[in-house]
């Protein structure tokens, strides 16, 4: 499956990501939320994370959402825009606030991990078919959505159903299940997520969340429950990920139901947040480039490794020239100047690492700073 859709239409971008982003407060030290004395501000949102990773990798990306007419809304729009994401279609809500949340420093999977969300009644929860620019949403090669949006409100669910309806000319629809039981007000969440996933072309789901949401055990059971998507990616944590191609009669079939499995590289984890979003972005980046399924999975793993080796959800954005200085101009004289140094990212090394043979890929170890220097990555590949 390659990225199809209205590619030649004016204003079309590589990816549109629609969903809520929140201001995230990261603890200054480990411990219970009750004991943490201060927090550092960051941004967090499954869909905007995907847009940021793709924009930093050189793709054109647009984030569509609603934020409050408040300082936190200002921060989200500015911070996400700093990655090169088009935020011109984000709407400001004068009556509803921007969502925020606080979390502890521990691993999300541990019993000690705490998250305190303040998102009820947020501006993003008011997204609806009638107040979102659907033309801007659909002006993409790929439209990326997640199950989180469907849980925010009835209007958001109606919007998700509209966007995942199979209609001629729609962009390729990517859907990350993102099962969050605490967000659903009733027991319908799993059923709704399955319904939405069946309307997508590319679906990402964790083996563990498929088991928790749908009682499905193993990737083949997930595929049997989701025959419609052209590509189904089942993530298995440190063990790796599998991609199922399309089946006979399915949309945009890849390789007649072929299964591709790629183990994950060994990663020294700093914070286990944002990896799922980064994986989706890496896979979509390779999809946009028309790469083979094996390489799409490897790009997904590499993007996830970049997120796992930094404290927050995202690596810092690439350095960009100040907005007040014309591109390529010296800030004092206005004359052409050398391009500013750009912070290296996972994408700078991904092509070379994704091309490794299976044995070298199996030896790959990635730790903090691996995206900063080719030499370090080369050394890690050689490590037995």
Instruction: For residue 56, give both structure tokens.
Output: 């930093």
Q: Which among 233, 299, 369, 370 has a CA at the least distance from the CA of 57?
A: 299
Alpha-carbon distance of 124 to 18, in angstroms, equals 10
For the four alpha carbons of 149, 153, 159 and 165, in that order, the dihedral sign comes to: positive
Q: What gap in Å lies between CA 272 and CA 23, rounded to an integer? A: 18
Instruction: Say how many residues make up the chain.
Output: 384
The helix or strand, by DSSP H or E, that contains position 308, with its residue range, turns out to be: helix 293-308
DSSP reduced 3-state for 66? strand
Residue 69: DSSP 8-state:
S
Q: Which of 351, 342, 318 is nearest to 55 (CA)?
A: 318
Residue 28 neighbours by CB under 8 Å, 6+ apart: 36, 37, 38, 39, 40
Q: Is 35 a catalytic residue?
A: no
Strand (E) or helix (H) holding 53 = helix 46-56
Q: Among 176, 277, 295, 313, which one carries the catalytic annotation?
A: 277
Q: Enter the tokens of residue 284.
A: 């979509």
Residue 134: other Cβ atoms inside 10 A:
13
Give the sign of the dihedral formed by CA 125, CA 128, CA 131, CA 132: positive
Residues in contact with 189: Cβ distance below 8 Å, sequence separation at least 6, in sequence order:
147, 151, 179, 181, 183, 213
The token pair that represents 25 in the structure block = 């407060």
Terminal-residue alpha carbon distance, the chain: 35
Catalytic machinery residues: 277
């Amino acid at each position: 499956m390659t990225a199809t859709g209205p590619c030649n239409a004016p204003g079309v971008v590589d990816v549109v990501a629609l969903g809520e982003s929140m201001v995230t407060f990261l603890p200054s030290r480990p411990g219970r939320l009750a004991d943490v004395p201060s927090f550092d501000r960051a941004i967090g949102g499954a869909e905007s994370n995907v847009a940021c990773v793709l924009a930093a990798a050189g793709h054109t990306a647009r984030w569509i959402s609603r934020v409050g007419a408040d300082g936190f809304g200002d921060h989200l729009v500015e911070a996400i825009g700093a990655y090169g994401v088009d935020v011109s279609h984000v709407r400001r809500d004068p009556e509803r606030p921007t969502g925020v949340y606080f979390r502890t420093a521990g691993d999300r999977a541990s019993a000690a991990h705490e998250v305190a969300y303040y998102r009820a009644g947020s501006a993003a929860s008011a997204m609806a078919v009638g107040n979102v620019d659907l033309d801007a949403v659909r002006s993409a090669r790929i439209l990326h959505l997640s199950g989180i949006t469907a849980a925010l409100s009835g209007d958001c669910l109606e919007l998700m159903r509209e966007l995942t309806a199979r209609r001629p000319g729609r962009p390729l629809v990517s859907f990350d299940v993102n099962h969050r039981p605490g967000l659903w007000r009733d027991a319908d969440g799993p059923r709704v997520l399955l319904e939405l996933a069946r309307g997508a072309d590319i679906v990402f789901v964790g083996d563990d969340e498929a088991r928790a949401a749908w009682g499905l055990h193993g990737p083949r059971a997930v595929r049997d429950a989701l025959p419609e998507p052209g590509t189904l990616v089942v993530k298995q944590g440190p063990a790796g990920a599998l991609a199922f191609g399309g089946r006979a009669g399915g949309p945009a079939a890849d390789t007649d139901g072929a299964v591709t499995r790629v183990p994950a590289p060994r990663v020294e984890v700093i914070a286990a947040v944002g990896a799922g979003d980064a994986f989706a972005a890496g896979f979509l980046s390779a999809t946009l480039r028309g790469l083979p399924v094996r390489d799409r999975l490897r790009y997904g793993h590499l993007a996830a490794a970049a997120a796992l080796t930094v404290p927050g959800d995202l690596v810092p954005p690439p350095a960009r020239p100040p907005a007040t200085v014309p591109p390529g101009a010296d800030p004092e004289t206005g004359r052409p100047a050398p391009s500013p140094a750009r912070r290296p990212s996972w994408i700078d090394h991904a092509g070379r690492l994704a091309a490794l043979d299976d044995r070298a890929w199996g030896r790959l170890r990635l730790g903090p700073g691996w995206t900063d220097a080719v030499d370090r990555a080369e050394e890690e590949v050689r490590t037995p």
